[in-house]
A and B are shown apart, each in its own frame.
Chain A
Amino acid sequence: MVSSQLANRESMIFTLLAGNLAHGLLLGGVYGMATMGLSLIFGVINVVNVGHGQFIMVGAFITLTMFTALGLSPVVSIPVALILGMALGFFFFYTVMRRLIRAPELTTLLATFAIGILLEEIAKLIFGADFRGYNWGVGKITLPITTIPMSKVYAFIGSIVIALFLYFWLSKTRLGTTIRAVIEDNEGAKVCGVNVGWIYALSFAIGIGLTVMSGVLLTMFIPVGINPYMGGVYTLKAFVIAVLGGLTSPYGAFFAGLIFGLIENGAYTLFALIPGVAPFPLTISLAFWMLFFLLLVKPTGILGK
């Protein structure tokens, strides 16, 4: 009797874990896509974008506004977010970042942080500080272990498509290979006649565009809790993922995102079984200890040599 109850409890935990891991894999894909912009920008202009999450917040508000005010599906918001994000990227590059290319970390970190604050405050001015959300009813699929809303599946598919597109663009086109050349060695690229200044601007704009676009996918995944200050936690998660992926590699970032999503949801399920602790903050804490450990043992990331 007792043993069958125990076996029952074990199988329940197993089902719960498997279900949460399935959600984690989908979320991880979106996380990975949301970090590619950070890695691209760090790789090309060697700037850690501390205002990363705030650009995700911009994407979230684009989705929300298009959905509630114009009644457009979040899928339409994806290209809009890319274009608006790239415009923002070019704007901030030519007004601020261009002058800070060779500057010490002190100024670049502070500048990107200030840009983040500026975006937060402008969003607060326009939308107010309330938490908002929307309901995109596109049905759900039921698996034996769990039920997954279709919106999450679409967000995952969208992330993979964008990641693949970026992969082919970076590896097969001339412009993409030029960007990779600048990541490898900007002096060498300059000697070979690459207009490095333009590549910096373009990569920064694409990085920001990707980030704003990932805000759309993230709100497809989690359509609640949209507010001007939602970005901070994504900046921090993106740091962990970017370091896991090697910090300069957009592909590494994508795979690291998948792993991170699995670890996050798996750890949450297990922490929830321990009595007397708060599983949610403990999971976030685990992520940062992981970051710390990784920086120590393998700062080149999981795909690094």
Chain B
Amino acid sequence: MKNTISKYYPLIPVFIAYLIMFLIGFSVPGMWQMVALLAFYCALGQSWNIFMGMTGYVDFGYVTFIALGTYGMSLGISYLYHFEWLGIGIIFIGILLALFLASLSALLEAFIALRLRGAYFAIACIGINEGLRYFIEGAKLWGGSEGLIFSGALMQALGREVANQLTTFWADFSVFIIAALAAFLNMHYMRSKIGYALTAVREDEDAAKVMGINTTKYKTIAFLTSGLLGAGVGAMAWGLKLGYVYPGDVFVIHYTVECIVVVLLGGAGTLMGPVVGGLIYGLSKYWLAIIMPGFQLLIFAPIIIIIIVAFPEGVIGLLKSRLRGTKYKMFIE
């Protein structure tokens, strides 16, 4: 019994970090927006890391899931708001639509792209992302390039009071929930058969196959989990919170790169990594936007390059090798 619980010990620092962030945002006036931004990066990093950290596959088109999640929520609200009897139910329908769209695309990608490896996989993922974006614009699907604007619809359906609460508090709060859920699932997978199978895939996929591991099945599980969590973040932090969606705004590879930067800063394939990375990245982005507006990218690009070259294992990776063999080891993963 002790064993089953102690294998989840590394979750403790992660949950404490999220709790502290939440409490600071909730109690200190004016801090909620910043904490929400940090939670957004932590959640995305954590979700992206589930697939990449365990398999070594780089999903460069991850933003597809976030974008489809946003579209799911947007479609739910903009096409169903006039059914008054649905009430708050349209939010849940929106979430379900987000998960449905994301799992559809995740399964398609898993079926086709997961047969590819390395650079080919990354290119295929970028291809799907751009193909979807331009298809929505070209076929004038779901509002085409004009997108969907539904903040008015949300207010009409639920009333100004409830709509305001949803967009200013519950949307951000659910990002915290998703971040915690992602950490738990990550830990759970790491300590289960799935984790061992995927570690084998990461080390040597052909050998794993020969040993009788159904690599495609486990890769698909991790890919789907990662994609669905991303869709959840998109539905809440972009769809519900902002009240509009444009294809040119959501299908942007830069957001995938932000996920990668968050994960790499903290330490790829670690549990604490995305939290630490999300905090460092979110805080420095917020701070740079205040002191040097317009120059964030110019400063970030060389910093990213230096980090890749000098500390490819990230903060937690460094810490892990420092704490190896001490009693704190079991809290760090």
Residues of A within 8 A of B (CB): 42, 46-48, 50, 95-96, 99-100, 103-107, 109-111, 113-115, 117-118, 120-122, 125, 232, 236, 239-240, 243, 247, 271, 276-285, 287-289, 291-292, 295-296, 299
Instruction: State whether B137 touches A48 (Cβ < 8 A).
Output: no
Chain B contacts of A295 at CB under 8 A? 112-113, 116, 120, 123-124, 127
Chain A contacts of B139 at CB under 8 A? 277-278, 282, 285
The 5 closest A-B pairs by CB, nearest first: A282-B138, A288-B131, A285-B134, A281-B138, A281-B137
**How near does chain B come to A283, taking the closest CB pair, in angstroms?**
7
**How near does chain A come to B286, taking the closest CB pair, in angstroms?**
19
Main secondary structure of the interface of A (DSSP, over half): helix
**How near does chain B come to A302, taking the closest CB pair, in angstroms?**
16
Q: Which of A42, A100, A239 has the most CB of B within 10 A?
A: A239
**How near does chain B come to A241, taking the closest CB pair, in angstroms?**
12
From known contacts A107-B308, A111-B308, A281-B137, infer whether A121 and B298 are also in contact, taking CB-CB under 8 Å.
yes
Chain A contacts of B132 at CB under 8 A? 285
Residues of B within 8 A of A (CB): 52, 56, 58, 60, 112-113, 115-116, 118-120, 122-124, 126-128, 130-135, 137-140, 144-145, 253, 257, 260-261, 264, 268, 295, 297-298, 300-302, 304-305, 308-309, 312
CB closest residue in chain A, given B269: A106
CB closest residue in chain B, given A236: B130
CB closest residue in chain A, given B130: A288
Instruction: State whether B138 touches A110 (Cβ < 8 A).
Output: no
Instruction: State whether B60 touches A109 (Cβ < 8 A).
Output: yes
**How near does chain A come to B228, taking the closest CB pair, in angstroms?**
21
From known contacts A121-B298, A278-B144, infer whether A291 and B138 are also in contact, taking CB-CB under 8 Å.
no
Instruction: State whether A277 touches B123 (Cβ < 8 A).
Output: no
**How near does chain B come to A291, taking the closest CB pair, in angstroms?**
4
Chain A contacts of B122 at CB under 8 A? 48, 105, 109
Contact for B138 among A103, A117, A125, A279, CB less than 8 A: A279
**Assuming A104-B58, A278-B145, what are 11 further A-B pairs, CB within 8 angstroms?**
A50-B60, A105-B118, A107-B308, A109-B60, A118-B305, A247-B119, A282-B134, A285-B131, A285-B138, A287-B131, A292-B112
Contact for A105 among B58, B135, B300, CB less than 8 A: B58
Contact for B308 among A114, A120, A232, CB less than 8 A: A114
The docked-state distance in angstroms from the alpha carbon of A232 to that of B297 is 16
Chain B contacts of A118 at CB under 8 A? 298, 301-302, 305
Chain A contacts of B140 at CB under 8 A? 276-278
The docked-state distance in angstroms from the alpha carbon of A122 to that of B58 is 28
Q: Which of A106, A111, A122, A289 has the most CB of B within 10 A?
A: A106
The docked-state distance in angstroms from the alpha carbon of A291 to that of B130 is 11
The docked-state distance in angstroms from the alpha carbon of A115 to that of B257 is 13
The docked-state distance in angstroms from the alpha carbon of A113 to that of B198 is 27
Instruction: State whether B126 touches A239 (Cβ < 8 A).
Output: yes
Chain A contacts of B301 at CB under 8 A? 114-115, 117-118, 121
CB closest residue in chain A, given B309: A99
Chain B contacts of A121 at CB under 8 A? 295, 297-298, 301
Instruction: State whether B138 touches A280 (Cβ < 8 A).
Output: yes
CB closest residue in chain B, given A116: B301
Instruction: State whether B138 touches A278 (Cβ < 8 A).
Output: yes
Chain A contacts of B56 at CB under 8 A? 104, 106
**How near does chain A come to B109, taking the closest CB pair, in angstroms?**
9
**How near does chain B come to A61, taking the closest CB pair, in angstroms?**
16
The docked-state distance in angstroms from the alpha carbon of A220 to that of B273 is 47
The docked-state distance in angstroms from the alpha carbon of A279 to that of B124 is 23
From known contacts A100-B309, A299-B120, infer whether A106 and B138 are also in contact, taking CB-CB under 8 Å.
no
Instruction: State whether B308 touches A110 (Cβ < 8 A).
Output: yes
Contact for B137 among A42, A278, A299, CB less than 8 A: A278
**How near does chain B come to A240, taking the closest CB pair, in angstroms?**
7
**How near does chain A come to B60, taking the closest CB pair, in angstroms?**
6
From known contacts A103-B312, A121-B301, infer whether A113 and B257 are also in contact, taking CB-CB under 8 Å.
yes
Contact for B126 among A117, A236, A271, A278, CB less than 8 A: A236
Q: Which of B113, B115, B126 has the most CB of A within 10 A?
A: B126
Chain A contacts of B312 at CB under 8 A? 103, 107
Instruction: State whether A117 touches B300 (Cβ < 8 A).
Output: yes
Chain B contacts of A120 at CB under 8 A? 297
Contact for A106 among B120, B268, B295, CB less than 8 A: B268
**How near does chain B come to A124, taking the closest CB pair, in angstroms?**
8
The docked-state distance in angstroms from the alpha carbon of A29 to that of B304 is 35
Chain B contacts of A48 at CB under 8 A? 119, 122-123
**How near does chain A come to B171, taking the closest CB pair, in angstroms?**
29
Offer 16 A-B interface pairs, CB within 8 angstroms, sorted by A. Answer: A50-B60, A105-B118, A106-B264, A106-B268, A109-B119, A113-B253, A113-B257, A114-B302, A118-B301, A120-B297, A125-B298, A239-B127, A281-B137, A281-B138, A285-B135, A292-B131
Chain B contacts of A115 at CB under 8 A? 301, 305
Chain A contacts of B144 at CB under 8 A? 278
Chain A contacts of B126 at CB under 8 A? 236, 239
The docked-state distance in angstroms from the alpha carbon of A280 to that of B145 is 12
**How near does chain B come to A19, taking the closest CB pair, in angstroms?**
22
From known contacts A117-B301, A278-B145, A281-B145, infer whether A106 and B58 are also in contact, taking CB-CB under 8 Å.
yes
Instruction: State whether B305 touches A111 (Cβ < 8 A).
Output: yes
**How near does chain B come to A248, taking the closest CB pair, in angstroms?**
10
CB closest residue in chain A, given B109: A292
Instruction: State whether B305 touches A96 (Cβ < 8 A).
Output: yes
Contact for A288 among B134, B145, B260, B297, CB less than 8 A: B134
**How near does chain B come to A276, taking the closest CB pair, in angstroms?**
7
The docked-state distance in angstroms from the alpha carbon of A46 to that of B128 is 22
Chain A contacts of B295 at CB under 8 A? 121
